[in-house]
Amino acid sequence: MSADALAIHRMRFADLARLSVVGIRNRKLRASLSALGIAIGVAAIVAVLGLSSSSQAGLLAEIDRLGTNLLTVADGQTVSGATAELPIAAPGMIARIDAVTAVDDTGTVANVTAYRSPLIPSINSNALAVRATTLSLAHTVGTSMAQGRFLDPATSREPVAVLGAAAAGRMGIDMVYAGERIWLVTASGGQWFYLAGVLQPAALAPEIDSSVLIGFAAAQTYLGFDGHPSQIYLRAHTAQVDAVHALLAATANPEAANQVTVSRPSDALVARAEAEGALNSLFLGLGAVSLLVGAIGVGNVMLIGVLERRSEIGLRRALGATKGHIRSQFLAEAMLLALAGGVVGVTLGASATAGYAHVKHWSTVIPSLAWAGGLAAALLIGAIAGLLPAVRAARLSPTRALWSV
Amino acid sequence: MTDQVVLQLDRVGKIYPSVPPVTALREVSLTVRAGEFVAVVGPSGSGKTTLLQVMGSLDQPTTGTVRITNLDVAGAPDRRLAALRASRIGFVFQQFFLAEHATLLDNVADGLLYSGVSIRQRRRDAADALTAVGLGSRLGARPTQLSGGQRQRVAIARALVGSPAVVLADEPTGNLDQGTGLAVLDLLEQLHATGTTIVVITHDERVAAHMPRRVEMLDGRVVHDTAKLATGAAT
């Protein structure tokens, strides 16, 4: 029997896994409590990242539904700071651009305020704007009627109004009935307008929401409006949006192209969708704190385990375990414990995200960074939290472990 | 019976560095050959357990040399000593140290966990070892369902499963009543008869009386060895 025939065997992965599973299974309650902290932390992180991605996806889907080919042209400012009015011919000029499929415009009727009745104090103007509008505006900006009908060639000449979604809310009008009227006040007196309908919110043109819309002819007849458009809404072929964008200012106001503001509302919404993640850092921080607490819990449970399992450690050393074997056993157990917490956390976080996204009619998006990162973080935490207990277990002298029970 | 030396202790001393220091072994020289059945007997505090720890490479001597199957324990790295224990030494303890949640088969198979054998082979060998100690019909039972004597049989099977060069038993009958204790001794005798080298540590003269060779210890010294004349190595 030669001394050199001694081989040192690394433990097989399957054996290591079996040992850790047994170690955890023998102390189920304690193991699950200590993994809970990690589960909560991972769940918080996964849910926060998942919810923000899902809401972003929801918003982008909404933007896609509304269309990214809406462009707006608004009156700008002159060098002196006064409003530079768009020429009356501007909508017609824009409509002649080939790639433009629809054009509508509104004109802000200055110095007119709208009230539900003459009895409302004049200071309660609700920040509503009265705008003259062309007749297919709702379709062009991508909204529709919530109640009633939009203006038509007949009603646009008469004192008839349509309310934006927010305007109806602020005035306290939740139902349109025949003969309902609102009171529009000009510098020289007041005028009743019949209410024809209420619009749905217009996500791409939020200024419409807080508007009282009337026909151009009616505005000129009853409110002394000068007929200048102040905002032009147009749809272009999606592939040519950029080309149209470049032409718009010069087309709308050839004499003073620099006094025209051209924008693409969907861009602003996309930017908002992307900025929405900023609020999440607080919740991510809470998740991180929970992970830290979880790590301390796992470390603590493992340390207690080492104290309790002195005789097991001693026995394993007597059976031929090296210090390394003992170390890997306890490290693997801590990592498995944390990983189990991580898996539970990812499941919880993902279901929370899926549930909320379902309620909000978003598609569920859980970024791979969230679930893979959550699991990796759990494993790493297990390794860090298990290191000290594992080293302690390995350092335990076999004689003291076995003979001081 | 071969004449191979399994354990060789040469003037081994062991001092525990407490305050004041405790001398547990003084100048102990002892040789165990393959196939021997040895009782180390002495009152408590005589250094028997320390001797077993040193013979089992679980502890290092302060002075002197210990050779286990010709490997010098002094200065050997932990990994090498662990491999030595995994393949060549079997331990039996007074408290059995069985895993209560595991089956008898898995308890015994754990005796081979660190020797690089596949789990299938480990379980096969464990079943054989359990059969050898008379528990072949209870492979799936748990230690909690067994009597003390049966538990010690499981522990003996675990020590035997790797066919070690020597089995070191520390008070194997210490937790058993006299009848079961005798049965366990009978088992050890049967194993010795089939060629296993066994060293039993005991404070009980009646237990020691079963063994062909008795090493008596007192205050850390070997005061009597029935094989003294044959080996010429005692104090």
Radius of gyration of chain B from its Cα atoms, rounded to whole angstroms: 17
Residues in B closer than 8 angstroms to A405, CB to CB, are 95
Residue A150 near residue A165, CB atoms below 8 Å: no
Smallest CA-to-CA distance from B28 within B3, B74, B81, B64 is with B64
Q: How many CA atoms lie within 13 A of A222 on its CB side?
A: 24
Phi-psi region of B68 (alpha: psi -120 to 50; beta: other; left: phi over 0): beta
Q: What is the pLDDT of residue A90?
A: 92
**Strands of the sheet with B22-33, listed across from one edge:** B22-33, B5-16, B63-68, B71-72
Residues in A closer than 8 angstroms to B95, CB to CB, are 311, 405
Question: Is the pLDDT at B230 greater than 80, yes or no?
Answer: no
Number of cross-chain residue pairs from A and B with Cβ atoms under 8 Å apart: 102
Closest residue in B to A320 (Cα) is B86
**CB-CB under 8 Å, A322 with B83:** yes
Q: How many CA atoms lie within 13 A of B195 on its CB side?
A: 7
Q: What is the pLDDT of residue A384?
A: 95
Residues in A closer than 8 angstroms to B69, CB to CB, are 1, 3
Residue A320 near residue B114, CB atoms below 8 Å: yes
**Secondary structure of chain B: what % helix, strand, coil (to 5)?**
35, 25, 35
Q: What is the pLDDT of residue B233?
A: 45
Q: What is the pLDDT of residue A59?
A: 81
Chain A closest-CA separation from residue B2 CA (Å): 12
SS (H, E, C) A322-385: CHHHHHHHHHHHHHHHHHHHHHHHHHHHHHHHHHHHHHCCCCCCCCHHHHHHHHHHHHHHHHHH
Q: Are strands A83-84 and A70-77 parallel, antiparallel or unpaired?
A: antiparallel
Residues of A with CB under 8 A from a CB of B: 1-3, 6-9, 11-12, 14-15, 18, 22, 25-26, 311-312, 314-325, 397-399, 402-403, 405
Q: How far is CA B178 from the centre of its chain?
A: 20
Structure tokens given for A212: 């009282």
Smallest CA-to-CA distance from A204 within A393, A26, A71 is with A71
**CB-CB under 8 Å, B80 with A8:** yes
Q: Are strands B213-218 and B198-202 parallel, antiparallel or unpaired?
A: unpaired
Nearest to B114 among A25, A319, A397 (CB): A319
Closest residue in B to A396 (Cα) is B58
Nearest to B97 among A25, A315, A321 (CB): A315
* H-only helix segments in A148-280: 165-171, 206-209, 216-223, 241-252, 265-275
- The phi, psi pair for A235, rounded to 5°, reads -110, 140
Structure tokens given for A402: 């076995």
The 8-class DSSP code of residue B114 comes to G
CA quadruple A199, A201, A203, A207: dihedral, nearest 10? 70
Confidence of residue B13 (pLDDT cuts 50, 70, 90): very high
**CB-CB under 8 Å, B101 with A25:** yes
Q: Which amino acid is at B168?
A: L
Beta bridge partners of A186: A189
Nearest to B83 among A2, A6, A318 (CB): A6
Taking residues B137-147, report their average pLDDT: 94
Q: Are strands B89-92 and B166-170 parallel, antiparallel or unpaired?
A: parallel
Helix axes A323-359, A281-308, angle to 10 degrees: 150
- The phi, psi pair for A191, rounded to 5°, reads -150, 130
**CB-CB under 8 Å, A320 with B85:** yes
B165-194 residues touching A, CB cutoff 8 A? 165
Q: What is the pLDDT of residue A276?
A: 64
Nearest to A6 among B49, B87, B158 (CB): B87
Residue B9 near residue B55, CB atoms below 8 Å: yes
Chain B closest-CA separation from residue A337 CA (Å): 19
Structure tokens given for A242: 């950029």
Chain B closest-CA separation from residue A383 CA (Å): 23
Beta bridge partners of B63: B13
| Vertex A107 angle, CA A101 and A113, to 5° | 140
Nearest to B114 among A2, A9, A405 (CB): A9
Taking residues B38-50, report their average pLDDT: 94
CB of B97 within 8 Å of a chain A CB? The answer is yes
For chain A, 405 residues long, the average pLDDT of each consecutive 10-residue run is 65 89 88 90 89 84 83 86 86 92 93 92 90 94 92 94 94 91 90 95 91 94 91 91 90 88 84 67 83 91 92 95 95 94 95 92 87 92 95 94 81
Q: Which amino acid is at B15?
A: I
Beta bridge partners of A259: none
Question: Is the pLDDT at B234 greater than 50, yes or no?
Answer: no
| Per-position DSSP letters for A74-85, written without gaps between them | EEEE-TTSSEEP
Helix axes A368-395, A323-359, angle to 10 degrees: 160
> What distance in Å separates the CA atoms of residue A37 and residue A295, rounded to the nearest whole number?
8
Nearest to B70 among A2, A312, A397 (CB): A2
Residues in chain A: 405
Q: Write the pLDDT tens digit of every residue in A214-254.
A: 999 999 999 999 989 999 999 999 888 889 999 999 999 88
Helix axes B148-160, B178-193, angle to 10 degrees: 20
**CB-CB under 8 Å, B82 with A317:** yes
Q: Write the pLDDT tens digit of every residue in A246-278.
A: 999 999 988 888 888 899 888 877 777 776 655
**CB-CB under 8 Å, A324 with B97:** no
Residue A294 near residue A35, CB atoms below 8 Å: yes
The number of beta carbons lying within 10 Å of the beta carbon of residue A183 is 16
Nearest to A1 among B4, B91, B115 (CB): B4
Helix axes A28-66, A281-308, angle to 10 degrees: 160
Q: What is the pLDDT of residue B54?
A: 95
**Please, which residues have CB within 8 angstroms of residue A349's CB and are 6 or more apart in sequence?**
A42, A43, A44, A45, A46, A47, A50, A366, A370, A371, A374
Residues in B closer than 8 angstroms to A26, CB to CB, are 101
Q: How many CA atoms lie within 13 A of B211 on its CB side?
A: 28
> What distance in Å separates the CA atoms of residue B230 and residue B3, rounded to the nearest whole number?
12
Assessment of whether the complete model's pTM goes beyond 0.80? no
SS (H, E, C) A167-182: HHHHHCCCCCCCCCEE
SS (H, E, C) A120-148: CCCCCCCCCEEEEECCCHHHHHCCCEEEE
**CB-CB under 8 Å, B87 with A319:** no
Tokens 């009646």 sit at which residue? B206
> What distance in Å separates the CA atoms of residue A86 and residue A74, rounded to the nearest whole number?
8
Smallest CA-to-CA distance from A341 within A46, A13, A106, A3 is with A46
Q: What is the pLDDT of residue A1?
A: 46
Structure tokens given for A294: 């979880």
Tokens 């066994």 sit at which residue? B198
Q: Write the pLDDT tens digit of every residue in A40-75.
A: 999 988 988 888 888 888 888 888 888 888 999 998
Closest residue in B to A317 (Cα) is B82
Q: What is the pLDDT of residue A216?
A: 94
Confidence of residue B223 (pLDDT cuts 50, 70, 90): very high
Nearest to B91 among A8, A9, A318 (CB): A318
**Please, which residues have CB within 8 angstroms of residue A123's CB and are 6 or more apart in sequence?**
none
> What distance in Å separates the CA atoms of residue A349 and residue A370, rounded to the nearest whole number?
10
Taking residues B75-95, report their average pLDDT: 93
> What distance in Å separates the CA atoms of residue A400 and residue A344, rounded to the nearest whole number?
38
**Please, which residues have CB within 8 angstroms of residue A380's CB and are 6 or more apart in sequence?**
none
Structure tokens given for A116: 């539900």
Smallest CA-to-CA distance from A106 within A164, A165, A154, A148 is with A164
Smallest CA-to-CA distance from A178 within A197, A150, A154, A163 is with A197
CB of B156 within 8 Å of a chain A CB? The answer is no
Q: How many CA atoms lie within 13 A of A297 on its CB side?
A: 22
ipTM (interface predicted TM) = 0.93
Structure tokens given for B58: 């679980």
